[in-house]
Amino acid sequence: MREGHEQNKREFEDYAYVLDFLEYGYPEDTRPLHQKKPIAQAFGEKQFVMMELTFKDNQVADLAEKLYIGKGKREKVEFVSKMLKYDQLTPTAKTELLHVIKEAVKAQEERFVEFLNNCGPITNRMHTLQLLPGIGKTSMWKVIEEREIKKFESFKDFEDRVRKNIVDPLSKRIEEELKEPQKHYVLVKWKTTH
């Protein structure tokens, strides 16, 4: 296999959180009821991909429910229908998105603590940390000083030493990167290729 091909290999989601469940499909779908399948708009746990899921017959899901969508045997989901953009989400899904992002961030604490420990400057005048809502120059320097003394071990360790909640800024930045075009994508990596 070629080297370049390895780097472009797409990672697939194994789990997704339900943003909205539509038992009879979209209201604007004009097909007869017996032809419609239940669908959900969902948010991928690792890649942060928004997607539409088609469910098996007689299966339902709750908002924010974590579902297996990987390559193995799926309990509720028949298949991933398509990827979605933010403006294709239902009003309920848009409302639920930030809450679900927070759950995904908490579930991947180790990944984000590593990000906080290793992120660097984007330009001579801007640091990656400054892209997180609520992190200005003062907070940025506090984070840099603290991580030079000792790397952060957890969100709690970060919050104790920096005196700032970090789950909310990380979650809000992910939401911003999903909502509209950004100059710098630091947390939603797949957006850089789309």
In a domain, 122, yes or no: yes
What's the total number of domains in the chain? 2
SS3 content of the chain, % helix, strand, coil (to 5): 40, 15, 40
- Rounded Cα distance, 130 and 108, in Å: 21
Same domain for 85 and 115?
no
- Average pLDDT over the chain reads 90
Same domain for 75 and 117?
no
Which pLDDT score, from 0 to 100, does residue 85 have? 94
Mean pLDDT of 158-167: 96
Buried-exposed string 74-113: b where 16+ CB fall within 10 A, e elsewhere? bebbeebeeebeeeebbeebbebbeebbbbbbeeebeebb
In a domain, 16, yes or no: yes
Same domain for 15 and 64?
yes
Helix (H) or strand (E) holding 53: strand 50-55
In a domain, 100, yes or no: no
* Residue 53 and residue 76 in contact, taking contact as beta carbons nearer than 8 Å: no
Same domain for 7 and 76?
yes
What domain range includes position 189?
108-193
> In this predicted structure, which of 29-33, 96-100, 159-163 has the lowest mean pLDDT?
29-33
Domain CATH for 10: 2.40.50.140
Mean pLDDT of 78-92: 95
Same domain for 82 and 44?
yes
Same domain for 83 and 135?
no
pLDDT digits (tens, 9 = 90+) for 42-54: 999 999 999 999 9
pLDDT digits (tens, 9 = 90+) for 11-36: 788 999 999 999 988 888 888 887 88
- Rounded Cα distance, 185 and 131, in Å: 9
Q: What's this model's pTM, rounded to 2 decimal places? A: 0.87
Mean pLDDT of 140-166: 96
Same domain for 113 and 55?
no
Domain CATH for 136: 1.10.150.280
pLDDT above 90: residue 135: yes
Which band of pLDDT confidence, cut at 50, 70 and 90, is reported for residue 191?
low
pLDDT above 90: residue 170: yes
pLDDT digits (tens, 9 = 90+) for 59-81: 999 999 999 999 889 999 999 99
Same domain for 85 and 45?
yes
Q: Which of 58, 89, 120 is the last residue of a domain?
A: 89
Q: Which of 89, 123, 138 is the last residue of a domain?
A: 89
